[in-house]
Amino acid sequence: MHTLVLHPACKPGPTTAVSASVEPTADGCAAEFRLHGEIGKIKVPEHAASMREDFLWKTTCFEIFWQPDGGDWYREFNLSPSSKWACYDFDDFRLNSRDGPVGAIEVACTHSANELVMRANISSELHDPAQVALNAIVEDLDGNIQFWALAFPDGKPEFHSDICRKLRVERGV
């Protein structure tokens, strides 16, 4: 698991730590995100049918940005604890956003008073080696939002920045 850091402009809240991991699979990747803190004070979207949906990032959501070596193109996955998801392709930094191809995405979420765990199995063509970002957006019951990532560029929270893509992922030879 990799420790995510809270963006310096965010106020402290009920989430005290976030960690995440991603592993390439034969048909895509598998990811896990863990939130620690007072889970009862976090907005956790209610379980729903697994389907593509836009704007998941407006509340508690997890993200993966996958950029294969050798180009500017990248793929973004938004994964909600509800089991809803989204996938977008970009030609470059926020350029030409469009729905990305997905075979299937399975999201499972469990939580206790002090920990929320979300796991996702993603079937989507993901070239490697790649630079990957793992991010979390956490909204508390008062509407405050925290941004968590492996790293941030200076300034406002910007998950699309290549600075956030600190994890190198490569399938075994």
Cα distances (Å, whole numbers) of residue 142 to 40, 41, 44: 12, 8, 13
64-108 per-position pLDDT tens digit: 999 999 889 999 999 999 999 999 999 988 878 899 989 999 999
pTM for this predicted structure: 0.94
Two tokens, residue 45: 């979207």
Domains of the chain: residue spans and CATH: 2-169 (2.60.40.1190)
Indicate if the pLDDT at residue 146 is higher than 80.
Answer: yes
- DSSP-assigned states of every residue in 35-86: EEE-GGGB--PPP----B-S-GGGSSEEEEEEEETTSS-EEEEEE-TTS-EE
Residue listed under structure tokens 């989430």? 15
> Cβ contacts of residue 91 below 8 Å, gap of 6+?
72, 73
pLDDT given for residue 92 in this prediction: 86
Q: Using the 8-state DSSP alphabet, how is residue 163 labeled?
A: G
Which among 44, 18, 45 has a CA at the least distance from the CA of 32?
18
110-145 per-position pLDDT tens digit: 999 999 999 999 999 999 999 999 999 999 999 999
